[in-house]
Amino acid sequence: MNSVSYKYISGPKYHLRAGIHPYDGKQLGKDVKIRECMPGRELAYPLGGHIGMPAEPVVSNGDRVNVGNLIARGTGTLSINIHASVSGVVKEITPRLTASGSVYDSIIVENDGCYKSIAYAKKKRHYMHMKKSEIRNAIKDAGIAGMGGAGFPTHVKLTPENDSRIRFVIVNGAECEPYLTSDYRIMMEWPEKIVDGLLIMLSLFDNAEGIIAIEDNKNEAIILLNEVIKRKMHSLADIYKGRIRITSLKTKYPQGAERSLVYSLTGKKLNRDMLPAEAGCIIDNVGTVAAVYDAVCFGKPCIERVITVSGDGICHPGNYLVKTGTYYDEIISAAGGLKDKCSKIICGGPMMGRALYDIRVPVTKFSSGIVCFMEDDISQQEESACIRCGRCISVCQMGLAPLMINDMANECCECGCCTYVCPAKRRLTQSIAALKTSRKCERR
C-alpha cells in the first residue's frame, strides 16, 4: 500500500454510528475469477419484480428472438425494458414463481443454443460526444435497474428534478453483505468500466463530484481503481479533472445501505420518504455502473450480471457471469452442486436475503447472490421473551427501538442487524418485514 500515491483517495466525512461486524465469509469467493455460466434449454423473464409497473410483452408464443431483442417494454414512469439473453423461440407467457416469493407473468424462451445476437452499436460511442438526453435514453433503452438488489430503474434515478442540485455521484462498492463478492470481483476485473461508467454518469451533472465508495477490507480494489483513475486523468478533458476520487469506508455492516452511505459521505440523514437525490446524491452499485458503460458505449442491453454463489453448502463457491432468465438450480449445478447436508439456500446475502423454498426460479437483473448453508442456525434457535437488554437499539442505524417497532415499522430498512445481535434470538427483522407486508395488504 505504501508505494501507491493516494491523491485520489479520501476517508469518509462521518462514521456510521450503529451497525455490526458479522462474520463475513468473503474469503470463500473473493479470489475466484468470474466464470461464465451457460443457461439450460429454457429461460424465464418475469415481467415484474422491479420497482414500478410490470413491463408489457412485445412478443407472442412462437416468435423467434435473438440475444438483445426487446421482449417486453417498460410501461409507466418506473418500469423497465426486458430483453432476451439467448436466441430461440418464445414458448409461452405464463405466471412463474420468482426468488422474492411472488409470482409474475413471465416470458418463457426455449434456448436454441446458438446465441445469435442482434447487432448493438456498430462502433464504440464516446459519451463526451453524446447529448445528456442521448445518454439517458441509451440507459433507458437498455432496461437497467439497480443491480445491487433494489431494482429501481436507473434512467429514472439519473433524471432527478433538478440536475444542478446533484453534488455527488456515488458508486457503491461497499458490498457489506457477508459472503457476497460479486462487486469486488467486478472492481478487480473490470476497473476501467467502473471509472468510465462513473464518468458517464458524472457527465450528466455539471456540479457533481464522483466518489467510488469502498470498504477498507477491499484494499486491492482501492489500489487498482486508484491506478485507473490516475491513468485516465491524463487523457480526460479539463472538465473532469479532479472530479473523481475513492472514499475508503470503515468495514461495518450495513455500510453499503443507501441511507448509511449518504450519511457517511455527506453527514445528511435520509428518512423513508426521501430519495438520495434530495440530499444531492445519486447512488449506483458497481454492477449497475458497468451496465451503464456497456449501454452507453456499445448500446448493449442489460442481459447478464455477475452473481455470487457461496456458503459452506456449495461445492465450488465463486462468482458467475449469468444470463438473465437462467434458473438458480442451473447456476448451483455450475458451481458444483449442493453439499449433501446443505439445509438452507438464500437469495441475496445472509443479512438481507430471503430463504428460497424452490430453486427453480430465474435470475433477474437484481439477483445478487445465492448463499447455501449446511446448518440453518436461526431456525434451530429457540425464540424467548425479550430481556430488555437494549442491544437491538444500539445497532439500529435508523435509530429505532426494534422491540417497540409497531409504530415505526416503515422506517426499518430490514438490514437484519437487530436480529443478528439479539441474545433472545427474537426474529425482529422478520416480524417487522411481515408487519410491513400485512400493512401493505390492508391498504390495498
114, 128, 387, 404: which one binds ligand SF4 (CB under 6 A): 387
Residue from 33, 417, 430, 440 touching ligand SF4 (CB under 6 A): that is 417
The footprint of ligand SF4 on this chain (CB under 6 A) covers a number of residues equal to 28
Nearest of 257, 220, 280, 275 to residue 16 by alpha carbon: 257
Q: Which of 302, 345, 363, 428 binds ligand SF4 (CB under 6 A)?
A: 428
Minimum CB–partner distance for residue 42 and ligand SF4 (Å): 37
Candidate segments 2-10, 270-278, 296-304, 399-407, binder of ligand SF4 by CB under 6 A:
399-407
Task: Judge contact between 252 and 27, C-beta under 8 A.
Answer: no
- Least distance in angstroms from the C-beta of 270 to ligand SF4: 13
Q: Return the number of the residue (140 or 426) whose C-beta is nearest ligand SF4.
A: 426
SS3 labels along 48-111:
CCCCCCCCEECCCCCCEECECCEEEECCCCCCCCEECCCCEEEEEEEEEECCCCCEEEEEEEEE
299 has which bridge partners? none
413 binds ligand SF4 (CB under 6 A): yes
Choosing from 33, 129, 388, 443, the residue that interacts with ligand SF4 (CB under 6 A) is 388
Cα–Cα–Cα angle for 116, 121, 123, rounded to 5 degrees: 115
User: In the complex, what is the shortest distance from the CB of residue 348 to ligand SF4, in angstroms, rounded to a whole number?
Assistant: 14
Taking CB under 6 A as the binding criterion, the range among 149-157, 240-248, 314-322, 380-388 that sits at the site for ligand SF4 is 380-388
Those residues with Cβ within 8 angstroms of residue 389's Cβ, 6 or more apart along the chain or in another chain: 423
Is residue 412 involved in binding ligand SF4 (CB under 6 A)? yes
Cα Rg for the chain, rounded, in angstroms?
Answer: 21
User: Contact at 8 Å (CB) between 50 and 324?
Assistant: no
Query: H helices of 169-285, where?
Result: 182-189, 191-202, 219-235, 258-266
Q: Provide CB contacts within 8 A for 89, sequence distance 6+.
A: 62, 63, 64, 65, 109, 110, 112
Which of 4, 53, 386, 435 is close enough to bind ligand SF4 by CB under 6 A?
A: 386
Which range binds ligand SF4 by CB under 6 A, 59-67, 202-210, 329-337, 416-424?
A: 416-424
Least distance (Å) between residue 306 CB and ligand SF4: 26
Contact assessment for residue 260 and residue 16, using Cβ atoms and an 8 Å cutoff = yes
**Look-up of cell digits 501507491:** 4
What's the longest Cα–Cα distance across the chain?
A: 65
Is residue 418 involved in binding ligand SF4 (CB under 6 A)? Answer: yes
Part of the chain binding ligand SF4 (CB under 6 A), chosen from 130-138, 184-192, 283-291, 418-426: 418-426
Residue 390 makes contact with ligand SF4 by CB under 6 A = yes
- Which of residues 414, 427, 430, 431 is near ligand SF4 by CB under 6 A? 414
Region from 98-106, 176-184, 211-219, 421-429 binding ligand SF4, contact rule CB under 6 A:
421-429
Interface with ligand SF4, residue 422, by CB under 6 A: yes
Whichever of 161 and 407 has its CB closer to ligand SF4, that residue is 407
Residue 164 or 381 with smaller CB distance to ligand SF4? 381
Does the protein bind ligand SF4 through residue 344 (CB under 6 A)? no
Check binding of 424 to ligand SF4 (CB under 6 A).
Answer: yes
C-alpha cell at 165: 442540485
DSSP label at residue 33:
P
418: three-class secondary structure by DSSP = helix
**Least distance between ligand SF4 and beta carbon 326 (Å):** 31
**Exposure of 176 by Cβ count < 10 A (0-12 exposed, 13-18 middle, 19+ buried)?**
buried
Binding site for ligand SF4 (CB under 6 A): 386-392, 395-396, 398, 400, 402-403, 412-418, 421-424, 426, 428-429, 432
